[in-house]
Structure 1
Amino acid sequence: MALNEKIIKEKAAQLQKCSKEKITINPLSNDLKGITIEDAYKIQLAQVRNKKMNGEIVIGKKIGLTSKSMQNILGIDEPDYGHLFDTMIINGNNKIDLESLIQPKCEPEIAFVLSKKLKGPGVTVSDVLSSTRGVLPAIEIIDSRIKDWNLKIQDTIADNASSSMFVLGNNLIPLENINLQLTGLVLRKNGEIIKTATSAEVMGNPAEAVAWLANKLAEFDVALEKDEIILSGSLTRAYEVNEGDNYCAIFDRIGSVNLVFN
């Protein structure tokens, strides 16, 4: 049975309180037996409405769970998505205070900036490429309002796909001469290489993830709009962070971005 509007609003408010007070709660999937993925997106969208009423601006979307390994762990066969707000961008010196987060992890990603509206169904990789102004290196900070990251898919979706903050590189790179299937990544932590990967880790091609998103949103009669930023999914697993950590993601032909945790 679908959740009623009262419960949806209550859970949305509860998650927003967690964000504000830097606390966690038990999994929603424990408290709400039978909660569906559709219910979870309704809780996410209730938070989006609340944030917009408070003056926050939606500037894009993020795609999560793009790797088959993570999908298998959660027993799903497709990614999920969340909303990006203007309050999530880390500006200036690329530093973030750990006290502003709860139980953060970071992920290296390729960010797309759209040059025109993109609406499904039927969106293909070619459509994504022709609708993209350029790409940027990105590091996303994921965070969970759910205690100990004890998640089912419904929990992370309701929690805005475990989103928190993100930082972008400085230079938007056109797609000419970039092979998005074979873009290499070197991830450094405190100067040491901890992982190398290619963009094929993201559904074979990060543009495939963006196409999935456009087609998924079409189910709700929603489009990706011109100038939106799309975080297309992580090339690696999520890495835990500690005070003083400096992560640097270096992408072949796209550039680099770093983030310091104070």
Structure 2
Amino acid sequence: MPDQDIRTRARALYEARARRVPVPPFTDTDPSLGMEDGYAVQQELVRLLLADGDRVVGYKAGLTSAPMQEMFGVTTPDHGPVLASTVYEDGARVPISAFIAPKVEAEIVFRLGASLKGPGVTVEQARGAVAEVLAGLEIVDSRIEDWRIGLADTIADLASNGAVVLGRPLAPPAGADLRLTGMAFLRGGDLVATGAGAAALGDPYAVVAWLANTLGGHGVALEAGQLVMTGALHAAVPMRPGDTFVAEFDRLGSVTLHVDAA
């Protein structure tokens, strides 16, 4: 993709984020756009956001489940940065006006205690680098009209990341197999979804290894203290004003999000 097109598309997403007005899918006008094009735009968009004073505090993986990969016709996840301005604590009241078309999904989140840089990072090495595990709620949002996203569109748009709400940090439970960690997801007290850790690439720690190896291929390391969001354990649920979402995880506790109208 020509540099000018990269800058133009990144600027369009930057303005869409600022004004809360979505843009048409880039793949509408150029269906040939692929994963590499999406990451080129993402990199430029991140540059614009960091110039405003934001910080990268971790990374999210998306498309970590087989059904989502099949939907996009890929065999690998995608990724995007987690920005400091988008991280909330458990019980936060988050204004729906901060988003365009938000949805909520529960996932397991890690905080690293040691850096990891691929290639060659194993799942066991990833496990050893994790210092904390947290119950998490990701608010996914799309700056692309009506969520009509192709692969390049969602990657360019920071992997459709909107925000994250983090539960209480815990040391990784001794002897626990996070693949088997169950989760119940409630909206307004009603059970709307369930899931288990294995939905995230078969093993949440495998997501950490995948991210370290993928980023390492571009000279980027996962650093100590950074967050790793390992991917949704269920289909995303639309977010509405007045909603309260709670995700209850086996052995990891719960995390709560309140949605305000303004």
TM-score normalised per structure 2: 0.96
Q: Could you tell me whether the CA contact under 8 Å between 2:135 and 2:255 is conserved in 1?
A: yes
The residue correspondences of 1:55-204 to structure 2 (distance < 5 A) are 55-91=53-89, 93-204=91-202
Question: Aligned-pair distance for 1:214?
Answer: 1.0
Q: Return the letter of the residue paired with 1:127.
A: Q
The residue correspondences of 1:33-48 to structure 2 (distance < 5 A) are 33-48=31-46
Question: Aligned-pair distance for 1:32?
Answer: 2.8
Runs of 4+, deviation exceeding 4 Å: none
Counterpart of 1:259 in structure 2 is 257
The answer for unaligned runs of 5 or more in structure 1 is none
TM-score normalised per structure 1: 0.96
Is 1:208 aligned with 2:203?
A: no
Counterpart-to-counterpart distance in 2, 1:244 and 1:22: 20
Stretch of structure 1 that moved more, 177-186 or 252-261: 177-186
Q: How large is the Cα RMSD of the aligned pairs?
A: 1.2
Counterpart-to-counterpart distance in 1, 2:160 and 2:33: 17
Counterpart-to-counterpart distance in 2, 1:137 and 1:91: 11
Stretch of structure 1 that moved more, 31-40 or 52-61: 31-40
Question: Aligned-pair distance for 1:160?
Answer: 0.5
The residue correspondences of 1:5-24 to structure 2 (distance < 5 A) are 5-24=3-22
Give the percent of matched residue pairs that are identical in Structure 1 and Structure 2. 37
Counterpart-to-counterpart distance in 1, 2:88 and 2:226: 17
Question: Aligned-pair distance for 1:128?
Answer: 0.8
Question: Aligned-pair distance for 1:92?
Answer: 7.2
Question: Aligned-pair distance for 1:36?
Answer: 2.3
Residues 141 and 102 of structure 1: CA distance in aligned 2, closer, same or farther (over 3 Å): same
Q: Could you tell me whether the CA contact under 8 Å between 1:111 and 1:231 is conserved in 2?
A: yes
Counterpart-to-counterpart distance in 2, 1:92 and 1:258: 6
Q: Could you tell me whether the CA contact under 8 Å between 1:111 and 1:137 is conserved in 2?
A: yes
State the SS of the aligned residue for 2:108.
strand
Q: Could you tell me whether the CA contact under 8 Å between 1:182 and 1:198 is conserved in 2?
A: yes
State the SS of the aligned residue for 1:161.
helix
The answer for unaligned runs of 5 or more in structure 2 is none
Counterpart-to-counterpart distance in 2, 1:92 and 1:257: 5
Q: Return the letter of the residue paired with 1:60.
A: G
Counterpart-to-counterpart distance in 1, 2:202 and 2:227: 20
Number of residue-to-residue matches in the alignment: 260
Q: Could you tell me whether the CA contact under 8 Å between 2:104 and 2:140 is conserved in 1?
A: yes
Stretch of structure 1 that moved more, 93-102 or 229-238: 93-102
Q: Could you tell me whether the CA contact under 8 Å between 1:134 and 1:175 is conserved in 2?
A: no
